[in-house]
Structure 1
Amino acid sequence: MKRLHFIVLLSLLFSLLSFSQSAIIRGVILDEANKPIENVNIKASTGEGTATNENGFYELTIPSGVEVIVKFTHVSHGLIEQRFNLKNGQELEYNPVMLIEVEQIATVVINTNTRQSVDGVTSISPQMIRTIKGAQPGVENILKTLPGVNISNELSTQYSVRGGNFDENLVYVNEIEVYRPFLIRSGNQEGLSFVNTDLVQNVDFSAGGFQAKYGDKLSSVLDITYRNPVDFGIRTDLSLLGGSVAAETVSKDGKFSGIAGVRYRDNSLILNNLETEGNVEPVFADAQTYLTYRFSSKFHLNFLGNISLNKYNFQPENRQTNFGTLQEPVALLVFYDGQEKDEYQTYFGAFKTNYFVNEDLTLKLIASAYHTTEQEYFDIFAQYRLGEVNTNIGDENLGEVEFSEGIGSQLTHARNDLDALIVNAEHRGDYTIDDESTVEWSVKYTHEDIRDRLVEYEVIDSAGFSIRPPNFSQPNLQPYEPFSGPLTAFENIRALNKVQIDRLQAFVQYSKRTEWDNNEVFYNVGVRAHSWTVNGDAIESNSQTVFSPRAQFAIKPDWEKDMLFRVAGGLYYQPPFYRELRDSSGAVQPNVKAQKSFHIVLGNEYSFEIWDRPFKLVTEAYYKGLSDVNPYTLENVRIRYRADNNAEAYAYGLDLRLNGEFVPGTESWFSFGYLKTEENINNRGYIARPTDQRLKFGALFQDYVPNMPDLKMYLNLVYNTGVPGGSPSYADPYDYQIRLRDYRRADLGVSLQLVNPEKTYNSKWKKALRELSIGFEIYNMFNNQNSITNTWVRDVYTKRQFAIPNYLTPRVFNLRLSARF
């Protein structure tokens, strides 16, 4: 409770104010014969206005961060009314076609976005995120179809990018960095994504080569912007897996606006179909809000808040996993006793204030606090049989284990508690030198206070003989000779850590847009500095500092074909977070250095038309050379580091993405990725890293019935070649290089829109609604058996270990109802 009071008091200390900034809309207005229209009057709801020249060209500057209605009018053509909500500095090309005396009101379609193309950023439509659902709905469900992004567990929100792990990704909401829970060990326990899609305005994603203004991570940036509403509205979504409600409003004088959402999730429908049978209660809920108060034309105050409560109770009963080959089928039978109780509570609050000095200079202050309390308790006793399976068709014992190669039991115990408080105070600013040049900077202080109790042990008994740890030095010749040594757990980890980490970060970067021999040129250069100190009980204080220079260069040649070439790179560091400081025994190693990566990305964007519809092909080749690597093992989605910079690694690959209107009026894309990443630990030679995902194919396809356009369909396809199956935390990874089977998944959704916002209705109940749709979804449509990792079971006769795959979710059916008032 004291920590919660501290969060509130800290937030109130930073209640300064902000001012909106600007964005640019430009384009050419044509008639139905594709001829430019002169003297089209263009007027924004915020007061800005302009008109087209003799070539039909226009350029309009509007405020950013708010919804602006722009009207296009002409004496001989019908009205076009369009809504825009752009980010600061965003440049949007919008080319409407004016019809003769026919009113047109539609949503914005982005043809090209120069600023995002230069930055190497992929933008995802918020409407698409809300429409395309999955077993884990949200932004991550869309990310997995992008090249270079791998999500191998559909219940998890964690993803790896271009060979990196889950901890190497940055996530921002309105320029505020957000954090994830620490103790999560499986996707079943995760619950909801931090990002509430009902509140989203913009979604930008960079898979590498990002600018200095983003933090110190090695892989990617997910940059989310929550919207400022312009009127009152309510959005609801209900399904067999849970529901959500979001409301937004704005005061009469326009000074206050706010949006809030509540979500509830129960994954019982999915988890009850897994191999391990039992009683499961996975309940996840959260509440989020984003509020804005405009004191004057120069001062705004924003607040972002989140409360998340996750509970996972599980009483396993039995499990049977069939594996092996057709010639030698093997099965694992397990009978359980005991239960698992996990609970994760997180509280997050942030105030963001900006002060607009003049048209060129903006100053910002951000203060945030993140508090999480997590517990992971379980005592599970498992008795197992491992042996050959009866494959005789017609036999009454078909599928049962007839000859046991391994019989034993296993007791796992955990009493893990974690309490973490992270507070941030940051000043940011940007100064526009001229219309083509901008300087941005930031200074940020972070204090991390971690209190962690780790108590885990595992006892394995095989055919009556207790199995000792693999690194136990005293020989054990049972059953042929008696052993008089003490009983020792197969794995025993006990630690009590109290750690404080203080960080000071800063960056400065310069961006410029110019011309070179009629070619458009863009470049960005910047540098980051990061200094941190690790302190704690019984820990020797240690301080380190790193510098990270980064640069981007793009050129748009004056060619007939619409092409853009881009190169980006620099030195990227990842100073260790608490989890990276804790080794496999639970001890904290304060001398762990920042992992270092030299990163270069070469990209090309080719925009073209097929069937008179827009398409874009994005190609990127990349290389990462990593040093001071901190090796780790993966257990489901839990990462266990060795807390030792004793490895070097590399990653290289090629990403392709083709998106466009394969079906008129809808956006779809197909992506392909090739990746190779290996590491060399203690100069023993290169082996595959746990995220070595060689081939990736993803597709997101949308369609509708031509004669009934309100009946829509989406298909979400992912194919990944298998990654290494991981290894026990105590084991030598050089001995565990077996790959999992290929990951194949297809999710299908069909929806019928009963109320369309672009239509008018006479029925009273339809008039009260802006949107209403019902849907039917099939997750894992072809019921593929995908696996996330392996369970290792010892054969007492041969003393070898079998890799038993842990299968993911099977085919699941879901119903959905969505409405907006």
Structure 2
Amino acid sequence: MSRLFALAALLAAFFPAAVSAQVQGTIAGVVTQEAGGEPVPGANVLVEGTNFGTAADLDGAFSFRIPEGRYVLVVSAVGFASARDTLRVRKGQTVALNVALALDDDLGSVEVTADRATIGAGVSSITPADIRAMPTPVADALRAVKVQLGVTSNNELSNAYSVRGGSTNENQFFIDGFEIYRPIRTQQGEQEGLGLVNGDLAEGLTLYAGGFPVRYGGKLASVLDVTYARPTGAIVGTAYASTLDGGAAIQGGAGPLGVAVASRISRPQSFLGGQELKGDYDPDFRDVQGLADLDLGGGHRLRAIGLAARHRFRFKPQSRVTTFGIFPDLVRTASFEFRGSENDGYDVLFGGLRLETPLAQSLRLEHSLSAYDTEEFETSDISSTVQYSNRVRRPGAPPTEFDNIPTGTPVTQADFADNSVGVATLTGGGRYRLGLGRGASEIGWQLRSLRFTDRINERSLFSYPTVSNDTTEFEQGVLQAEFDTTAVQAGLWLEQALDLLPERGRFVATAGVRADYYDLTDEWTVSPRLAAVFSASDITTFTGSLGVYHQAPTYRELRGEPAPGESTITIQTDLKSQRADVAVLGVEHLFRQRRLTFRAEAYYKRLTNLISYTVDNVRVGYSGENDSEGYAGGIDMQLRGELVPGLESWINYGFLLTEERFLTPDGFENPASPQQRADSLRFVRNGGGDWVRRPTDRRHNLSIFVQDRIPGDDTWSLHLRSLYGSRLPTTAPAVTIDAETGERTFEDGVRHAISLPAYFRFDVGATKRLRIGKGISGAPLMLLATVEILNVFDQANVIANAYNLQQRPNGSNFFEAVPTRLTPRTFNVRLRVDF
């Protein structure tokens, strides 16, 4: 926490002082009306392409400081045509800019479309430039989402994130409107590799953290919609390499056809090898993506996109030494020795086609077809022996020196897994949009077939010496399953956007309704939604949304838990869709003089038909039952602006409260079967009907992204990214022993009775931009050299606890919790060439 307060103090000093520390000049002037010369109060004076600048006062006068250089200034005001001018600013000098604005005769130029929902409650935009600038272990667009409004994360090894109390499985991902998926069976962040979004092809990313349109479906938390750029004109591209990853992208067009291709590879051995778990890491993550855009004439356009990914994670663990406890008197060490190896991976193939057909100026049709296939496997045969020791301070020695005194008996655990899962989808859809006057209508449909194939075969074997020098062995965690399941999903939606005020664009309301059918559970759901954007003035905007969201159970949720004493997993086809009733209210205000935007949003979700789950590292394990209800509520705030032109910075703070309570199971008072007895015990351990924290209940979250330039040399840029999240709840396992048979059973203990430590991370990078020649198209050939320090303060973040079986002197069993820590401080060097 002391480091966090030091960071806060640093930023408090940094933000107001950063611009003044530059080598600067001043731009000053007066904005008047062309006819009559009257002042134009409140006129915006901005550097083109940025939010950097100021606003005129009541007399039309303005003044602001800016680093020396050449700039294009844009002056605008409501009711007037914009004006542009080019200025050269020199150090210590004032440049005059007096502008006379002409009245704008076309006051009805704002068009209302169904896509206007991209401005609304819970919506954030992410630019490719910001993605590239963020100091992250690998160049992955999904990692840029972690510093957006309403998003939390506690694992730099994973690209997974949580949005406003939702699990990582409650987020949807789209590339150009085609849905893609994250890995299903991944257990640890090291195994995930690259996210399937390639930032070098992206034109922009839009995150919907609540209130998203009906066309996206009904996941309970968020939607990330990535738009890939339309390749046209001269050939341009980029190539990069670092100590952890590399990639290249090229795109261009000739005549009606535009093509783009990008490839990436990541082999972060050095990054993973810095962890406490030592061994032979061999990660190999790579993919290739491409798109083609064909202009068929008359406004007709055909777009094709394809993706192939091959991710492998091979690992031979050797040893691990973890020291934990309370300094100085309750310090423990766990020393592990490993034998064996693991080999995990997944292959993804994806292809999509979209045909855009305009039938009239205001009527557009879209039809699409896509196929997605993923094959995942995990094989491991690893045994480990752990010896615990007490660390005792040596008399007369320095306070940091300890004696290592072994305690207890070594316990050996052997884990075996041979699992695979395949998911194949084929999706067709249509979208029809009509814009007339002040309104826009949209009708759409979707039909999808799914196939899940799964093979599970895993178990754990424990052995340890007894007090009589015999060896005790028992097997636990035995799971077996093999099934092949098919399903069909169908959806239909209707949406209407309408401008409700005479002054166009000031108050736009969007109402929609979606109906879905899922044949596997034989369930129909209906989801109405309403969103509104009200521009009270040119500096203050209010947003709001109300909606119902239904998340149908798919592979993850459908897998239930084995019955007591059994090891076979079955598919639960009687589940209902989880439901969220969501309300969001927000405000955004621009402080003109400082060009800072403040944004705040309050939200509340009522959650019903929940399928409870637990989280271990990155794996989400579901109960397979609609066994709880809950809520999530909180407030998110953001301060955003540009310290220098073209480089945005922001600070986010979020407060979240999310809890659930479990529904009373059948036969709770008088359980008559082993299953009822197990359900009753689980109900008691889950709070017995009282409210308990959900796995994502992170009360406080802070994320920061700052960009700046070196004073006097605008070829240097600095980038800072920091994440902080307060403690997350977690559940420790328990051991029960059958009084008659002596059989040991592992079960979850009291739900969320303990918490993981807070998560804090601070990453910095510095980039030098050099012109080294001309590219293929004649444009400048630019070299960007970046040095990054990841986890600057070497914070020992904990992602989970590893629970190891131990034996007390009296022969009883218990679990010792050993923290699983994430990566230490790491240095990375990255080179990028843009041409």
Per-residue deviation, residues 379-427 of structure 1 (Å, max 9, x unmatched): 0000011231244385999566413135201000000011221110111
Residue of structure 2 in register with 1:33 after alignment: 29
Residue of structure 1 in register with 2:788 after alignment: 777
Distance (Å, rounded) in 2 between the aligned partners of 1:768 and 1:97: 24
1:216 deviation in Å? 1.3
- Give the % identical residues: 28
Per-residue deviation, residues 210-239 of structure 1 (Å, max 9, x unmatched): 221221100011111000122211201110
1:35 deviation in Å? 2.7
Change (3 A) 1:200 1:650: same
User: Are 2:625 and 1:644 aligned?
Assistant: yes
User: Are 2:702 and 1:725 aligned?
Assistant: no
1:242 deviation in Å? 1.7
Change (3 A) 1:785 1:443: same
Residue of structure 2 in register with 1:597 after alignment: 580
1:135 deviation in Å? 1.5
Partner of 1:130, secondary structure, is helix
Residue of structure 2 in register with 1:244 after alignment: 247
Change (3 A) 1:322 1:511: same
Residue of structure 1 in register with 2:768 after alignment: 752
Partner of 2:136, secondary structure, is coil
Distance (Å, rounded) in 2 between the aligned partners of 1:408 and 1:565: 60
Residue of structure 2 in register with 1:786 after alignment: 797
1:152 deviation in Å? 1.1
Distance (Å, rounded) in 2 between the aligned partners of 1:480 and 1:320: 27
Q: How does 1:519-668 map to 2 (within 5 A)?
A: 520-534=506-520, 542-558=521-537, 562-585=539-562, 586-611=569-594, 614-668=595-649
Distance (Å, rounded) in 1 between the aligned partners of 2:84 and 2:293: 36
Distance (Å, rounded) in 2 between the aligned partners of 1:271 and 1:719: 21
Change (3 A) 1:423 1:689: same
Residue of structure 2 in register with 1:235 after alignment: 238
Distance (Å, rounded) in 1 between the aligned partners of 2:194 and 2:753: 32
Partners of 2:211 and 2:582 within 8 A in 1: yes
Distance (Å, rounded) in 2 between the aligned partners of 1:213 and 1:163: 22
1:482 deviation in Å? 12
Partners of 2:138 and 2:266 within 8 A in 1: no
1:579 maps to amino acid? R
Distance (Å, rounded) in 2 between the aligned partners of 1:373 and 1:94: 56
Given candidates 651, 658, 661, the residue that maps to 1:677 is 658
Given candidates 106, 122, 125, the residue that maps to 1:123 is 125
Distance (Å, rounded) in 2 between the aligned partners of 1:632 and 1:311: 27
Change (3 A) 1:564 1:282: same
Residue of structure 1 in register with 2:429 after alignment: 426
User: Are 2:153 and 1:151 aligned?
Assistant: yes
Given candidates 151, 155, 172, the residue that maps to 1:170 is 172
Distance (Å, rounded) in 2 between the aligned partners of 1:275 and 1:282: 17
Partner of 1:167, secondary structure, is helix
Change (3 A) 1:661 1:646: same
Report which stretch shifted further, 794-803 or 514-523: 514-523
Change (3 A) 1:117 1:395: same
2:620 maps to amino acid? I
Partners of 1:583 and 1:640 within 8 A in 2: no
1:801 deviation in Å? 1.8
1:549 maps to amino acid? P
Given candidates 493, 504, 510, the residue that maps to 2:496 is 510
1:587 maps to amino acid? T
Distance (Å, rounded) in 1 between the aligned partners of 2:418 and 2:621: 17
Partner of 1:783, secondary structure, is coil
Distance (Å, rounded) in 1 between the aligned partners of 2:776 and 2:307: 34
Partner of 1:592, secondary structure, is coil
Change (3 A) 1:543 1:812: same
TM-score (norm 1): 0.81
5+ residue gaps, structure 2, are 1-26, 45-69, 90-114, 563-568, 665-687, 735-745
Residue of structure 1 in register with 2:190 after alignment: 188
Report which stretch shifted further, 494-503 or 679-688: 679-688
Partner of 1:800, secondary structure, is strand
Change (3 A) 1:99 1:148: closer
Per-residue deviation, residues 89-129 of structure 1 (Å, max 9, x unmatched): xx9x9966414799xxxxxxxxxx98643354211121111
Given candidates 782, 807, 829, the residue that maps to 1:796 is 807
Change (3 A) 1:371 1:696: same
Partner of 2:500, secondary structure, is strand
Residue of structure 2 in register with 1:312 after alignment: 313
Partners of 2:202 and 2:227 within 8 A in 1: yes
Partner of 1:782, secondary structure, is coil
Partners of 2:733 and 2:815 within 8 A in 1: no
Distance (Å, rounded) in 2 between the aligned partners of 1:488 and 1:743: 36
Per-residue deviation, residues 154-201 of structure 1 (Å, max 9, x unmatched): 111111111110110111111111112211111101110111000010
User: Are 2:711 and 1:706 aligned?
Assistant: yes
Q: How does 1:87-486 map to 2 (within 5 A)?
A: 97-99=84-86, 116-118=118-120, 120-230=122-232, 231-251=234-254, 253=255, 255-326=256-327, 327-392=329-394, 401-434=404-437, 436-464=438-466
TM-score (norm 2): 0.80
Change (3 A) 1:142 1:294: same
Distance (Å, rounded) in 1 between the aligned partners of 2:701 and 2:389: 35
Distance (Å, rounded) in 2 between the aligned partners of 1:36 and 1:577: 61
1:505 maps to amino acid? G
Change (3 A) 1:807 1:291: same
Partners of 2:135 and 2:720 within 8 A in 1: no
Q: How does 1:12-23 map to 2 (within 5 A)?
A: none
Query: Where do 4+ consecutive residues of structure 1 move more than 6 Å?
Result: 54-58, 79-83, 479-483, 516-519, 763-768
Partners of 1:388 and 1:401 within 8 A in 2: yes
Per-residue deviation, residues 356-400 of structure 1 (Å, max 9, x unmatched): 111111111111111111110000000011231244385999566
Change (3 A) 1:514 1:739: same
| Count of aligned pairs between the two proteins | 704
Partners of 2:588 and 2:597 within 8 A in 1: yes
Residue of structure 1 in register with 2:56 after alignment: none
1:735 deviation in Å? 4.4
Residue of structure 1 in register with 2:672 after alignment: none
Distance (Å, rounded) in 1 between the aligned partners of 2:729 and 2:708: 36
Change (3 A) 1:437 1:81: farther
Distance (Å, rounded) in 2 between the aligned partners of 1:94 and 1:517: 16
Distance (Å, rounded) in 2 between the aligned partners of 1:94 and 1:410: 74
Distance (Å, rounded) in 1 between the aligned partners of 2:274 and 2:127: 32
Partners of 2:609 and 2:626 within 8 A in 1: yes
Partner of 2:174, secondary structure, is strand
Partner of 1:269, secondary structure, is helix
Partners of 1:37 and 1:56 within 8 A in 2: no
Distance (Å, rounded) in 2 between the aligned partners of 1:394 and 1:297: 85
1:657 deviation in Å? 0.5
